[in-house]
Structure 1
Amino acid sequence: MWAAAAGRRVASVVLRRSWESLCTQGQRALFTAGFRECEDRSDNDRMRERGGAAEVIARGWQVSPESESDWRSHAAAVARSIDLIKARLEWKKLLARVQELDVELAKPNLWENAAKAGQFSRERGALSGQVKSVISMEDELLEHVGLAELAHEENDTQVVTDVTQGLAELRKTASERELVALLSGEHDSRSCFIEVQAGAGGTESMDWAAMVMRMYRMWAQTRDYEVTVVDEMPGEEAGIKRATIRVDGLYAYGYAKTEAGVHRLVRISPFDAGKRRHTSFAAVAVIPALDESEVSIEIGESDLRIERFRAGGAGGQHVNKTESAVRIIHIPTGIVTQCQADRSQHRNKATALSMLQSRLHQMEVTRRAKANAQHTQSLSDVSWGNQIRSYVLQPYQMVKDLRTNYEVSDPSSILDGEIDGFIMAYLASSSAP
């Protein structure tokens, strides 16, 4: 990634020098004015809707494979990516929201409500970053196109080659940002909790639940996310009855939320002496990890029942000899959270309470939005009939997502954490008009 970024910076320097060698300052200004506005605008002016990418699309240049050295094709591909990104971000609404936030942030009494001020500031920063990213990419596209056309008129093949290489790099960047634009939900950029619970079926389902949890831990590690085991209840013979991990990293929730639902396994059971085929289920729930300042849910002490117990499983001498684990029951809703990850009872209680607040917040959001049940906040809300993916190990091998029909014939790679194909397929299908 760093090498690619450095390469783009070098290419930019080369292109600018080529630009300067091709024309006078007056010629550059005249040409640039036809494509974009002056560079001394304020941030707000730069954030308004522009039509640079649309102008390139209107030229009707065909998009060819990336391997072909055609600057027009690369430019057309970049322009279409920008256009798609704007559609996914709902560009007009995005710009309007930035202006609304600017008005709120400019009010003299803003910090009378610190929580709301912080919320506005964070939202403005996130949206501003999205807008500036698109504008920067569009600026770079227009500069490359302008230089390429001028170099073509001057028959400067070296500059055309440099521009083609620069546009090819920009094309890759734009393609990557298309995927990021799919993650534009309120909490998509946050870390998350992933909870897995075994379905009916005893040892077989508990073993499957452990396999599913391992799959997510390996997926998180391949993305360089930090994984912390928050809670785990082992099965009597094998696997787990229930487990929760926290995944810390940018867009962890945005990606992982696509996995919420019921996962079904078909295989010849290693626990059946008769070698019969069994079907097992595991439920997955994903909730965003929110800061206290982001959660507006007030929880009364009388609404909580707090239980302390000894942590189970391996954990060293201290963790198993003291009642450091904490379970919190929210009496009005019946939601239960618990944590035994730390030797400190105080920190375990704080983590369990944070999970409870996030769940209650998500429940309220879901209620208001009347969201689909697969995006609810607790495992108890995930219907066993809501199967999202089927994993078949025998008599044939296949993993198929029942929502998108995306399938892979190598279950081993999927169970080793290579699930990005399923995640991206779902994100793409859910964003389609």
Structure 2
Amino acid sequence: MLSFLLRRSSSFEQKPQFCFSLLASLAQVQSQSQSHHFSSSIQNRSCFTPGYSCLGKRSDGFCLSLIPSSKISPGVSCSDVDSVKCVRFCSSQSQADVDIVEPSTSDGLTVEGIIAQNWTVLGEDESDWRSHASAIAQSIHLTKRRLKWKQLLFKVKSLSEELDKQDLWDDPVRAGKISREHGFLTGKMNEVKAFEQELFEHIDMIKLSREENDAEMESEALKALLEMRRNMKEKELEALLSGEHDSCSCFIEVQAGAGGTESMDWASMVVQMYKKWAQRKGYEVTIVDEMPGEVAGIKRATIRVEGEYAFGYAKAEDGAHRLVRCSPFDSANRRHTSFSAVAVIPILGEGFSRFQIKESDLRIDRFRAGGPGGQHANTTESAVRITHIPTGITATCQNERSQHSNKASAMAVLQSRLDKLELARQAQLNAQHTQSLSENSFGNQIRSYILHPYRMVKDHRTNYEVSDADSVLEGDIDDFILSYLSASLDKDEDGL
């Protein structure tokens, strides 16, 4: 956009103040993102309108000086030329100074101002810039609300004050955590601000092009608005995953509940559903532990799902899942109700763990792997069960041939379970890790899967339902996840 604007000689000759206002806004947003793209692009003199040039830099920052080329001679500086308009790119501008200025158009229109205009939002194929601008403004507003904007600004300010303390690095672990969190939150904040500023630049460009009857400039700005409108839909989705650990991989644990063999078969179906869902998302899935049922299905299973935002999505599945169907294990073909409990645990990784495990608190048992088949599997004590004595939490792995591999996997599961328990304790929650079946029964389900007498899957938290139960069991659960995440965040109207 900068190069396009600088080529418009009539723009600078007829409306110099307006054009330099646009350039100043662009310089500001580039400064916020700490990018040098602005300075490098305008140093490339080929982007300037014929007859104009850029002189260079000043001591207080980058200076864009548009003057007739005829006035430039070797050794001339900005201060040597009369009536020169300059836009400075000051890399030393503090974040606190940037936060004071709310992005707006050249005539003072803000995101809230656009929403207040109540411009009708039409389809993307309509060439109405007000429609696109209104849709983008609403997306930015929704994104801010999901990010809990006021809390985000306060948190960034608090972390900045912590980073300014001289004794911060006396504790490197704490300092590293604060630094990473500050960088993560600042990045999200600046990204939203950059989108705001880009919106206002496109609006200003459209207004300028219409005043000059420049159809080419208006068309280019309109296309940019449309592209931005599409991109903001992705940002709305990303804002759903703004939790502290949402970007982590995770363990998904499934345990059969009330219902005997029927529930064990249902637990096996739930595990397959999550494996297929994870594969659809491009995640890597590994079976960590699995205890088969006596007749069919499984008593419990733990799978590891590795990929970006795996926990952010899968956390919506935490709870009891209810199945209603005519049981294939009932000779009378009667209708049965079964339950499976699902627990989703983030894998925080080294340096992020909340619970420090002492070797003296562990009891490690080794035993022969159970389950069907295998000349090697049931003849050596390769399976490992690790018990954390103070909490009673256990982790088992028997799927690998090597005892060392099973121990490493079991330790990873145990660490994640203890981390989750510690996170719950710190948040003053009384819920314990889902190993008991006390809530894995009637009245506590988060979702029901009805296969008889009709077919429907319904989420009881959001009332979202679909009739294609087969596709859901094949892993098509994204709509349920997004519906829950949206409802849980959008209900907080005070976050903005």
TM-score (norm 1): 0.88
Cα separation, 1, equivalents of 2:164 and 2:349: 24
Asked whether the equivalents of residues 103 and 193 of structure 2 are also in contact (C-alpha less than 8 Å), the reply is no
Judged with a 3 Å threshold, the aligned counterparts in structure 2 of structure 1 residues 172 and 118 are, in CA distance, closer, same or farther, namely same
What pairs with 1:297-316 in structure 2 (closer than 5 Å)?
297-313=355-371
- Aligned residue pairs total 418
Q: Offset of 1:66 from its aligned partner?
A: 2.8
Task: Specify the alignment match of 2:470 in structure 1.
Answer: 412
Q: Which structure dedicates a bigger proportion of its chain to helix? A: 1
Q: Deviations over 1:127-177 (max 9, x none)?
A: 122112212222221221111111122223333333222212211211221
Match of 1:426 in 2: 484
What residue is the counterpart of 1:379 in the other structure?
435
CA distance in 1, matches of 2:114, 2:139: 12
- TM-superposed CA distance for 1:381, in Å, is 7.3
Of the structure 1 ranges 187-196 and 63-72, higher mean CA displacement relative to structure 2 is found in 63-72
Match of 1:199 among 234, 257, 274: 257
**Residues 215 and 232 of structure 1, relative CA distance in 2, 3 Å threshold:** same
| Alignment correspondent of 1:7 | none
Q: Which residue in 1 is equivalent to 2:59?
A: none
CA distance in 2, matches of 1:177, 1:309: 49
Q: 1:130 to 1:340 in 2, by over 3 A?
A: farther
Mapped pair 1:274 → 2:332: yes
Distance 1:287 1:197, change over 3 A: same
Tell me if 1:29 matches 2:20: yes
- Indicate if the aligned counterparts of 1:192 and 1:287 stay in contact, CA closer than 8 A: yes
Matches within 5 A, 1:209-228: 209-228=267-286
Distance 1:268 1:356 in 2: 37
Q: Are residue 153 (structure 1) and residue 241 (structure 2) matched?
A: no
How far does the alpha carbon of each residue in 1:285-313 deviate from its partner, in whole angstroms, 9 at most, with x for none?
Answer: 01110123212323333432211123344
Asked whether the 8 Å contact 1:404–1:425 carries over to 2, the reply is: yes
**CA pair 34-327 structure 1, distance change in 2 beyond 3 A:** closer
CA contact (8 A) 2:354 2:422 kept: no
Q: Structure 2 counterpart of 1:184, which letter?
A: S
**Larger radius of gyration, structure 1 or 2?**
2
Are 2:242 and 1:184 equivalent residues in the alignment? yes
Give, in whole Å, the separation in 2 of the partners of 1:163 and 1:383: 56
Amino acid at match of 1:101: L
After TM superposition, give the deviation of residue 46 of structure 1 in Å: 4.2
Shift of 1:362: 1.8
Aligned letter for 1:23?
Answer: S
1:22-52, Cα deviation, whole Å (9 max, x unpaired)? 6227542124557984643547244567343
Q: 2:135 aligns with which of 77, 82, 86?
A: 77
- How far residue 58 of structure 1 moved from its aligned partner, in angstroms, is 4.2
Partner of 1:50: 102
- Please give the alpha-carbon distance, in whole angstroms, between the structure 1 residues aligned to 2:11 and 2:223: 21
Runs of 5+ in structure 1 lacking a partner?
1-11
Query: How far apart are residue 200 of structure 1 and its match?
Result: 2.4
Alignment of 1:336-415 (within 5 A): 336-371=394-429, 373=431, 377-380=433-436, 383-384=439-440, 385-415=443-473
Question: Equivalents in 2 of 1:227, 1:262: separation in Å?
Answer: 22
> Which residue pairs with 1:6 in the alignment?
none
**One-letter amino acid of the counterpart of residue 111, structure 1:** W
* DSSP-derived class of the 2:436 partner: helix
Contact 1:359/1:378 (8 A) holds in 2: no
CA distance in 1, matches of 2:155, 2:251: 29
Greater mean alpha carbon deviation, residues 126-135 or residues 40-49:
40-49
Please state whether the residue corresponding to 1:293 is helix, strand or coil: coil
Aligned identity (percent) is 56
Structure 2: segments with no counterpart, 5+ residues:
31-88, 105-110
Say if 1:218 and 1:317 are closer, same or farther in 2 by CA, change over 3 A: same
Cα displacement string for residues 101-136 of structure 1 (whole angstroms, at most 9, x for unaligned residues): 233334444333232122112212211221122122
Whether 1:112 aligns to 2:170 is yes
The question of 1:144 aligning with 2:202 is answered: yes
Question: Against the structure 1 CA distance between its residues 276 and 60, is the aligned structure 2 distance closer, same or farther, given a 3 Å change threshold?
Answer: closer
> What are the superposed Cα offsets for residues 393-426 of structure 1, whole Å, 9 maximum, x if unpaired?
1110000001110000000110111111111111
* SS state at 2:320 partner: strand
Deviation at 1:235, TM superposition (A): 1.6
